[in-house]
């Protein structure tokens, strides 16, 4: 709404006196300035909601945004790594951690293994407490979007990395907290002993990918890679939905196009009448 207000001010048009034509000109202005379809869809939805309220509240007589059409946001997946590329990334993280033994390297190896093993969002991983992890049962309790709780299995490589982080890497960072500050229950700690910042995880993962010689990847891409590899390995959609914490199965179905493309490729190469 602020963005639209600024645009209308250029022509001295009042926000509550804007016409459908004014709104369309604003969208065209956004396109000219490089706005993506996702941005147009989001801003268009905000304007439609605003004018629906303004009409109901009696601020405007006719809703100018009622017939405002915006392009649908592209339902594209982030970049994915193949199974081989993912293995190379994680093996490199393990190699660095083993060679240096530094807390930050042990932490990076552990968080990468955990995000991939459990398909976690980076905010979910950094939001974990030590008490949420049960290495004896190899499960983790995750609080996801909408404060929804789920229990996710933890694979053996991730469990090994986490065990090393908790025993060797976490204590030095816990001791780095300022004097007098109560110890944090967070599983992953930052350099000053507080909860690790998700932005730092992203920055370090970009660097790690470059060092490992794999395509650039963000934590969310690692989560999507986990989902795709689960489906390719034969997991059913409901299982993947539960692991990822999706509220709708439709969200999980986005991954099927990736596996279907590979299925078609194999079919074309193998079937005599493909």
Active site residues: 121, 145, 220, 223, 246, 255
Query: Considering Cα of 80, then 83, then 84, then 88, what sign does the dihedral take?
Result: positive
Burial of 234 from C-beta contacts in 10 A (0-12 / 13-18 / 19+): exposed
Sequence length of the chain is 274
CA distance 10 to 7: 6
CA distance 169 to 188: 10
CA distance 243 to 56: 42
């Amino acid at each position: 709404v602020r963005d639209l207000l600024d645009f209308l001010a250029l022509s001295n048009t009042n926000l509550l006196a804007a016409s459908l034509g004014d709104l369309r000109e604003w969208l065209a202005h956004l396109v000219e300035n490089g706005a993506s379809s996702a941005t147009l869809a989001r801003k268009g939805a905000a304007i439609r909601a605003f004018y629906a309220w303004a009409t109901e509240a009696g601020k405007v007589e006719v809703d100018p945004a009622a017939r405002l059409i915006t392009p649908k946001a592209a339902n594209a997946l982030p970049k994915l790594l193949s199974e081989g590329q993912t293995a190379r990334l994680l093996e490199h993280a393990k190699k660095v951690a083993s060679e240096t033994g530094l807390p930050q390297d042990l932490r990076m190896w552990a968080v990468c293994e955990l995000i991939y093993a459990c398909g976690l969002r980076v905010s979910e991983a950094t939001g974990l407490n030590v008490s949420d992890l049960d290495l004896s049962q190899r499960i983790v309790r995750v609080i996801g979007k909408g404060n929804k709780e789920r229990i996710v299995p933890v694979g053996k490589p991730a469990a090994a990395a986490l065990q090393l982080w908790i025993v060797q890497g976490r204590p030095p960072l816990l001791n780095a907290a300022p004097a007098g500050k109560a110890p944090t229950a967070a599983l992953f700690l930052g350099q000053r002993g507080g909860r690790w910042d998700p932005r730092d995880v992203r920055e370090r993962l970009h660097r790690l990918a470059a060092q490992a010689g794999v395509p650039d990847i963000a934590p969310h891409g690692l989560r999507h890679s986990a989902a795709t590899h689960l489906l390719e390995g034969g997991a059913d959609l409901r299982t993947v939905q539960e692991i990822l914490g999706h509220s709708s199965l439709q969200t999980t179905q986005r991954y099927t196009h990736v596996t279907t493309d590979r299925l078609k490729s194999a079919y074309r190469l193998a079937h005599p009448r493909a």
